């Protein structure tokens, strides 16, 4: 067909009916949850979890007896069952038992994420894990009275199963987060602690494996080479970035107007990062602006504490800064961080020009704004080091490309 003929045909001829493909792309209806068919024995599952993952036989036998772990008939996967409050299966996680290559893992379709694989004991402690093998490995390593405590897996780092268990079991008052010892697990620890605190659960702790996860610790105990743990790169860099602040803060003691100094630093910073990127020749100047602004805001916070007769040292403020830093909240690109700094300066300007005598509440809010500005400057400084710090603007990239043509 010619193009006009094709358009005429697709529109349904003279009737002008639109061609609608929506019905063809409609998602398939969600299947109801059903457990995979049970195999007649558990030989492959027992062999895999005991010989390959070193799970204690008695621990595994307990969960098998409770029908919380079994072997499926079709693929011989290990199936980890999650029950609801009435003892009805609502969730199942499958783990392949073949040792060649990366084993299969995934949830049975229709699983309710609130009811993942778990065990509820009588004590007040709830241990939280990313996956069933992590949970079984931890129990194997800490077998003393393990049935008295409670354990839940998240099938990743989602909070649904954790919140379901603490709401469903009021006696669980102490939550111990035992997630993987890597960047994702460290961020999830902070995020889950915040979610729990919002729900009124403040008695939380973090327990980290020596190696990447609890099964790697178990492997190491049996003489196998474990996968090492990974510290969060931002938390590694944070003390290094903060180390320069006390010296800069002391050097600012002779400056007449620190608030004006902060504004001047930001005005110098803005054009250097106005595209959201930092050109190579600007990187050092951006670092200097951010460090001076962080130090200046700490200096003002220290002076405010002195005026309120609550003296603190610069070192104490820097430690508070590091304590308040949460990598799971440190998101966005350089432009986002610049806007955060602009907002902080606006808050400081507003709070310093409140008419009349400044109340204690106003002084505390001002002090918080100073610390928030320092923290946002530190975040931008960390970003500059960890992200590709030498980022050419689109115009420069185009010019370089044109020169090579």
Q: What is the pLDDT of residue 82?
A: 98
Higher pLDDT, 100 or 140: 140
Where is average pLDDT lowest: 144-148, 175-179, 256-260, 362-366?
256-260
The residue to which tokens 């949970």 are assigned:
135
For the stretch 306-340, pLDDT in tens is 999 999 999 999 999 999 999 999 988 888 899 99
pLDDT at 20 over 70: no
For the stretch 60-110, pLDDT in tens is 999 999 999 999 999 999 999 999 999 999 999 999 998 776 778 999 999
Confidence of residue 13 (pLDDT cuts 50, 70, 90): low
Higher pLDDT, 264 or 402: 264
For the stretch 184-201, pLDDT in tens is 999 999 999 999 999 999
Q: What is the full DSSP assignment across 93-154?
A: EEE----SSSPPEEEPTT--TTS-SEE--SSSEEEEESSHHHHHHHHHHS-TTGGGSEEEE-
pLDDT at 26 over 80: no
pLDDT at 33 over 90: yes
Instruction: Work out the percent of the chain whose per-residue pLDDT is above 90.
Output: 76
Q: What is the pLDDT of residue 96?
A: 93
Where is average pLDDT lowest: 139-143, 241-245, 351-355?
351-355
Instruction: Work out the percent of the chain whose per-residue pLDDT is above 70.
Output: 90
H-helix or E-strand spanning residue 82: strand 78-83
pLDDT at 402 over 60: no
Q: What is the pLDDT of residue 104?
A: 87
The residue to which tokens 């072997």 are assigned:
71
User: How far apart, in whole angstroms, are the C-alpha atoms of residue 78 and residue 52?
Assistant: 13
How large is the average pLDDT for residues 115-139?
A: 98
* Average pLDDT of every residue of the chain: 90
What torsion do the CA atoms of 230, 232, 233, 234 make, to the nearest 10 degrees? -170
User: How far apart, in whole angstroms, are the C-alpha atoms of residue 97 and residue 75?
Assistant: 9
How large is the average pLDDT for residues 263-291?
A: 89
User: How far apart, in whole angstroms, are the C-alpha atoms of residue 57 and residue 341?
Assistant: 56
Q: What is the pLDDT of residue 102?
A: 76
């Amino acid at each position: 067909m010619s193009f006009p003929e094709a358009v005429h045909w697709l529109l349904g001829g003279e009737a002008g009916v639109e061609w609608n493909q929506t019905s063809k792309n409609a998602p398939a209806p969600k299947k109801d949850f059903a457990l995979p068919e049970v195999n007649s024995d558990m030989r492959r599952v027992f062999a895999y979890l005991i010989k390959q993952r070193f799970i204690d036989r008695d621990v595994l036998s307990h969960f098998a007896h409770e029908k919380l772990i079994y072997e499926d008939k079709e693929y011989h996967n290990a199936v980890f069952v999650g029950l609801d409050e009435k003892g009805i299966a609502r969730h199942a996680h499958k783990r392949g038992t073949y040792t060649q290559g990366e084993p299969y893992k995934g949830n049975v379709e229709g699983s309710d994420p609130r009811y993942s694989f778990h065990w509820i004991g009588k004590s007040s402690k709830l241990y939280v894990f990313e996956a069933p093998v992590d949970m079984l490995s931890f129990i194997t390593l800490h077998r003393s009275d393990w049935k008295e405590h409670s354990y839940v897996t998240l099938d990743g780092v989602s909070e649904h199963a954790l919140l379901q268990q603490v709401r469903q079991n009021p006696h669980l008052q102490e939550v111990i987060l035992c997630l993987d010892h890597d960047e994702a697990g460290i961020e999830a620890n902070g995020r889950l602690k915040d979610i729990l605190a919002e729900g009124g659960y403040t008695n939380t702790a973090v327990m980290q494996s020596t190696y990447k996860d609890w099964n790697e610790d178990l492997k190491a105990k049996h003489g196998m080479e474990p996968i090492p743990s990974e510290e969060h790169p931002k938390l590694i860099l944070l003390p290094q970035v903060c180390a320069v602040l006390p010296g800069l803060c002391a050097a600012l003691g002779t400056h007449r107007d620190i608030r004006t100094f902060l504004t001047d630093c930001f005005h110098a910073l803005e054009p250097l990062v106005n595209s959201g990127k930092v050109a190579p020749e600007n990187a050092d100047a951006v670092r200097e602006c951010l460090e001076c602004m962080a130090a200046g805001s700490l200096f003002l916070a220290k002076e405010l504490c002195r005026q309120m007769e609550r003296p603190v040292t610069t070192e104490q403020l820097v430690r508070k800064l590091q304590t308040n830093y949460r990598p799971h909240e440190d998101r966005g690109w350089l432009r986002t961080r610049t806007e955060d700094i602009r907002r902080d300066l606006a808050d400081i300007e507003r709070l310093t020009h409140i008419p009349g005598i400044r109340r204690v509440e106003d002084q505390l809010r001002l002090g918080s704004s100073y610390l928030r500005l320092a923290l946002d400057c530190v975040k931008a400084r960390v970003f500059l080091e960890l992200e590709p710090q030498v980022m050419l603007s689109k115009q420069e990239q185009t010019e370089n490309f044109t020169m090579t043509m």
